[in-house]
Amino acid sequence: MYCKLEILKLKHIFKIYGEKVQHCALKDINLSIEKGEFVGIMGPSGSGKTTLLNVISTIDPPSSGEVLINGENPYKLDNSKLAFFRRKKLGFVFQDFNLIDTLTIGENIVLPLTLDGAKVSTIDKKLKEVASRLNIESILEKRTYEVSGGQAQRAAIARAIIHSPLLLLADEPTGNLDSKAAKDVMELFESINREVGVTTVMVTHDPMSASYCHRVIFIKDGQFFNEIHRGESRRKFYQQIIDVLSLLGGEASDFSTVRL
Amino acid sequence: MTFLQFAFNNVKRNTRVYLAYFLSSVFTIMVFFSFAVNLFHPVIASKKGGAVELIIGQTEVAILVFSFLFVLISVSAFLKVRSKEFGILMILGMTKKQLSWLVFIENMIIGCLAIIVGIVLGLVFSKLFLMLLGNILSYESLSFYFPYKAILLTTGFFTLIFLGISALTPFIIRTNSIKNLLHGAKRANREIRFSIFQSIAAVLLLGLGYFMALSPQLYDINPLLDKIILFIENAQYTEVILTTSVVVGTYLFFSQLSIFVLSRLKRNRSFYMNKTNMLWISDLIYRIRDNARMLFLVTILSAVAFTAITGVYALSSVVKDESLKDNPFALTYTSSSSNDNEQQHINTIDEMLESYGFKYEKYKSEIIKQVSKDNQVIHIIKQSDYNNRASALGLEQVALDKEQALLVPVYVRFDPKRDKTLSQKNIALDNGEINLEVAGIAPKVIFYSGLFPNLVVVNDETYDKITNIQEKYHSYSYDIPDWLNTLEVTEKLRAKLGVGEHGKYFWSTRIEGYNLENQNKKLFLYVGFFLGAIFFLGASSFLYFRLYTDLNQEKSKYIGMSKLGLSFEEMKKVASIQIAVLFFVPYILASIHTYFAISVLQTVLYSSVLNQFLVVIGVFLVLNIIYYVSVCSRYVNYLKRFIVQ
Ligand SMILES: Nc1ncnc2c1ncn2[C@@H]1O[C@H](COP(=O)(O)OP(=O)(O)OP(=O)(O)O)[C@@H](O)[C@H]1O
Ligand SMILES: [Mg+2]
C-alpha cells in the first residue's frame, strides 16, 4: 500500500512585517508536502516567496500559524536544539551560493559534518561520494573565487545534501546562472530527488527551472493562488506554468521568450 | 577537517580581514610592553615612589584601559564584517556555543600571535625607548636588561584582555536573527530623525563649555560679564561641568546637529538637486547617523591627544622662560645673623666660580625681618639695595621719600586683585612707630620665587631708624651670563656647602630648578607624546575600520549607480567628499576643543603657548591629510574594480 508520509506541513501561516506601518507578507498559507516530493514555489516579485521559504527554513518565525517538519515544530525548540535540527534535517541552497571564502570548496562541502563532530574517515567517505555524484572532484581543493558560478552552485548543493537531510530548501538556486548552467543544476536537483529521495522545496522565478518540479505552487500578494502538477511531459508542464504566470499578470511576457 | 582545523584555516587564509585587527593588537601590545620595560628597569625600579615611577606607572594604566577599548572596537568591527559568514554557519546548524567557541579560538590564535609579535617588536624597540628615557632623566644610560617582569605583565594582561573580549563576542554578534546576519543587517531603512531641541542644546552646551574655558581671560571687559565670570569661578566642580558640557555637546553635535544641518541643506533644492550633491548629502546623512558614536569617540580621543601633546610640548618649550622668571639670578645665597661661616661660604662660591672660568656679577643685600603684634611677618629692604638689584634685572630705579614704601611680589604670578599683601595701602613698622604709605608695586621678583614674603622697600634713612629687628639676613645674588653650564660647579658646591642649615643659611640656583623642571617636563613630553600618538592612531584606526566594515554595502550601492550612468569621476567625487567629512569634521572639532583646553592651561603659565598649539595642530593636519589621501585612494581604487565602465 502507498503510505502517505508528510514531511512538511504549514497551517494558517501569517507573516506581518513592520511595527508602525504593518505589511502582511503572508496570509493564511496552508501547505502539505510529502516525502520525496519536489515542489516549486512561484509568484510575482514581492509576493512573499522568500518570506515563505524563510519561514520554512526555521530562520524567520511566522507571526501566527504552525510549521511542522517531520511532525515537529522547529520554532518550539530551544536555540541549541534548533541548531541540531538544522544540522541534521535541513539542507540549504541560496541564489548567491553563500560559500565561505576562507575555505576550499571541499571544506565548504563537509562543513555540516564538521559541525556535527563526525569522524574524519566518515567525512572523507561522504565527501568522495557526493563529489563524484555531482561531478566536482576536480575542484575540491580550489578556493571559492577560483570556480565558476555553476561549479559554486554545485558545491553548495553538495554541502546541502552531504548529511542526507530530510528537507532540501532552495531560494532561486538558478537565479545567478546562465541558462546552460541553470539547466545542469536543475538536472542535478532532479536526479538527487529521484535517486536519493530528498524532499525538495524550491523558490524560483524561472519557468524552465520550475518545470523540473513535480508540483508548482503559485502565490500572489502573500496568498495561495494556484497549484499545478506535472504530468508526463516537462514541455507541457512548462507551458502550463507560463499560462498560470500570465494569469497572475504582467510578468509572463518576461518568460515567454525563454526557450526550453 | 575538524572544527579546530576549521578555525585555523579561517585565520590562515583570511589575512586581509584579520590583518587590521591583528596589526592594531600588535601595536597596542608593543606600546604597552615598551612602557613596561621602562617601568621595571632596575634603575627606575630602585627609585620606588618617585615622580618618575608614578608618571610611567600611570601612563601604563592609561595605555591598558585604552588597549582594552581599542581591541574591543577592532574586534567588533572585525566581527561585523563577517556577519554573513556567521549567518551561513548558523544556518548550516552551528550552535551558539560552537560559534562562540570558533570566535574564541580565532581570537586566541590572533591574540597569542599578537602578544608574541608585539613583545618581540617591543624588545627590538625597547633599547631605543630606554635610550630616550635615560637621556630624558639624565641617567648615564639605562642599560638593556632582560625584562622578564615586563614580559609576564604584558602576557598576563593581554591574555586577560583577549579572554574578556572573547567572552563579550556573543553580545557583539547578534546571533538571534540569522536572516539579518545573512543579509548583513540592512541599515538605510530606518527613518532619519533629529530633534531641533537637542540640536540647539548641542550649540548651547558647546558654547557654555568654551565660555567657561575662556572666562578668566574675558575678565574686566564688561561689569555684567565680570559678575557672570566670578559666579562661574565661585561655582563648585567647574572642571566637571566644563568637561561634561563639552563632551555631551560633542555627542549631540554628531547625533543631532549635523543631521539637522544636512537636512536643511536638503531643503535648499537648487543646491541639493545640483549634480552629485544629492548623492553625497543623502548618503552622508545616513553615514553620520550610523557613525555618530564613532565620530564622537574619534573627536574626543583626538582632542585628548592634541591637548596632551600641545600641553607637554608647551610646558617643555617654556621651561627655560619659567625658570628665568622663577630665579631672576643664577645663584642666590642667603645667610642669617647666626651663621658664622658666611664670609667663608661666599669666598668658596667666588673661588669655585672663578676656577671654572665663569664671569659673574655679585649683588649683596641686607634684609630685616619683623613680626608685628598681630603675627604678621614683614621683610624690609633698603632702597639702595633694591636699586642695585633693579639695575641688574633691568628694572626702573626708584626714589622713595621717607614716608613711602614699595611692595615687592614674592611669586612670579602675582595678582593684586587676589594677593592680599600686595593690596596694602599703608605699612606700619616697629609696631606702628613708623608709618609708611604704599607708593607702588615692583614689577617682579627680585630674589627668587618664594623667598621673603611681604617684602617692602623703604628709603635708606627710614631703614636705618628701624629698631625692631627679629632677624637680619644677608643675601648674595650672582648674575652668571653662562648659567646654563653651571650644573657641574653647582654640584661641586653642593658637595661643599650642602643644601644649607636650618635657620643659618640656604641657597638656591636657577640651573637646578631648570634641570628638575626640564627633566620632569621632558618626561611628560615623552609620555604625553606617546599617549597622544597612540590615541590619535587609535582614533584614526576606528575610522578606517568603519570604512572597511561599510565597504561591502558601499560596493553594491556604487555598482548600482554606475549601471545608472554614474561616471567614475563622479563616484570618486562623491566618495572623497564623504570620507573627507568623516576625517576632517572630527579633526576640526577636536582642534577647537583643544584650543579651549589650552586656554585653561594658559592661565597657569607665564608665557603664551599659542605657537605650540598651532605647531601641534599643523602637524596633525598634515598627518591627517596623508592618512586621508591614502585611505581615500585605496577606497576609490577598490570601488573602481567593480564599476561598470
Ligand atoms: N524585513 C522586512 N521588513 C518589511 N517588509 C519586508 C521585509 N522583508 C520582506 N518584506 C516585504 O514582504 C513582501 C514579500 O517579500 P519577499 O522577499 O518574500 O518577496 P519575494 O516574493 O521573494 O520577491 P522577489 O521575487 O523579488 O524575491 C514584500 O512586499 C516586501 O516588501
Ligand atoms: Mg525573493
Which residues in B lie closer than 8 A to residue A80 (C-beta atoms)?
95-97
3-state secondary structure B533-586: HHHHHHHHHHHHHHHHHHHHHHHHHHHHHHHCCCCHHHHHHHHHHHHHHHHHHH
Which residue in A65, A254, A86 sits closest to A169, CA to CA? A86
Query: Given this model, what pLDDT does residue A260 score?
Result: 44
What are the helix (H) ranges across chain A?
Answer: 49-56, 79-89, 105-115, 120-134, 149-161, 179-195, 207-210, 234-248, 252-255
Neighbours of A21 (CB within 10 A): 6
Task: Kindly state if the Cβ of A153 falls inside 6 Å of ligand 1.
Answer: no
Q: Which residues contact B138 (CB under 8 A, 6 or more apart)?
A: B515, B519
- Cβ–Cβ < 8 Å for A178, A143: no
Interface of B with A (CB under 8 A): 1-3, 6, 9-10, 13-14, 84-85, 88-98, 177-179, 182
Distances from the Cα of A84 to the Cα of A58, A158, B442, B464, angstroms: 12, 19, 88, 105
Q: Which residue of B has its CA nearest to A61?
A: B177
Give helix then strand counts, H and E, for chain A: 9, 9
Distance CA B60, CA A52 (A): 56
Query: Given this model, what pLDDT does residue B120 score?
Result: 93
The protein residue with its alpha carbon nearest to ligand 1, atom 4, reads A17
Q: How many residues belong to chain A? A: 260
Query: Given this model, what pLDDT does residue B56 score?
Result: 72
- Cβ–Cβ < 8 Å for B37, B150: yes
Is B10 close to A114, i.e. CB distance below 8 A? no
Q: Which residue of B has its CA nearest to A84?
A: B93
Distance CA B465, CA A43 (A): 116
Tell me which DSSP letter residue B185 carries: -
The protein residue with its alpha carbon nearest to ligand 1, atom 31, reads A46
Is A114 close to B3, i.e. CB distance below 8 A? yes
Which residues in A lie closer than 8 A to residue B2 (C-beta atoms)?
114, 120
- Cβ–Cβ < 8 Å for B388, B479: no
- Cβ–Cβ < 8 Å for B238, B581: no
Mean pLDDT for chain A overall: 88
Task: Kindly state if the Cβ of A45 falls inside 6 Å of ligand 1.
Answer: yes
Distance CA B493, CA B500 (A): 11
Residue B545 distance to chain A (closest CA, Å): 20
Query: Given this model, what pLDDT does residue B606 score?
Result: 64
Query: Ligand 1: which atom is nearest the Cα of residue A219?
Result: 21
DSSP H or E segment with residue B513: helix B510-563
Neighbours of A58 (CB within 10 A): 22
Task: Kindly state if the Cβ of A49 falls inside 6 Å of ligand 1.
Answer: yes
Whether A240 has a pLDDT exceeding 60, the answer reads yes
- For residue B617, the Cα-to-chain-centroid distance in whole angstroms is 13
List the domain boundaries for chain B: 1-185, 328-510
Is A100 close to B88, i.e. CB distance below 8 A? yes
Residue A118 distance to chain B (closest CA, Å): 8
Neighbours of B126 (CB within 10 A): 25
Which residue in B306, B308, B303 sits closest to B247, CA to CA? B303
| pLDDT tens, position by position, A171-197 | 999 988 888 889 988 999 999 999 888
Distance CA B211, CA B205 (A): 10
Q: How confident is the model at residue A255 (pLDDT cuts 50, 70, 90)?
A: very low
Task: Enumerate residue ranges in chain B where pLDDT < 50.
Answer: 187-188
Is A57 close to B91, i.e. CB distance below 8 A? yes
Which residues in A lie closer than 8 A to residue B177 (C-beta atoms)?
59
Q: Which one of A57, A90, A107 has the shortest CB-CB distance to B9?
A: A107
